[in-house]
Amino acid sequence: MESILNPLGSLSTYVVLAISLAQLIGLSYALFHTLRTPAAAFSAASKQSKQFWGFLLGASLVARLTFASPLDLFGVIAAIAAIVYLVDVKPAVTDILRGPRW
């Protein structure tokens, strides 16, 4: 009966759930990519070290899983860390690992 009276309440719950799942998937993928990428590729791409990204993404994932909600300060910082890695660092490191394209 409550969903009939307040349909936006359930919609907002689904939106927060979708944001939460997207954050967790993005953080997990970024951390997995960091762990399987050689450390030399980060310095060759002129990016921060593998240890820096591993610590940042790992701490963000742990914070997100333990006490942060997707829309509070720690959740937003975790999302920004994953987005920066996936948009900036990952393509640069991947280009270094692929070598020259002909």
Distances in Å between the Cα of 29 and the Cα atoms of 6, 61, 79, 80, 98 are 36, 11, 12, 14, 19
User: 4: pLDDT confidence band, cut at 50, 70 and 90?
Assistant: low
Q: State the pLDDT at residue 67.
A: 84
**H or E element that contains 78:** helix 73-84
Residue 29 reports pLDDT greater than 90: yes
Q: pLDDT digit string (tens) for 44-90?
A: 999 999 999 999 999 999 999 998 788 888 889 999 999 999 999 99
What beta strand segments (E) does the chain contain? none
Distances in Å between the Cα of 69 and the Cα atoms of 59, 60, 77, 90 are 15, 12, 11, 26
What is the pTM (predicted TM-score) of this model? Answer: 0.84
Q: pLDDT digit string (tens) for 33-46?
A: 999 999 999 999 99
Give first-to-last CA distance, the chain, whole Å.
Answer: 63
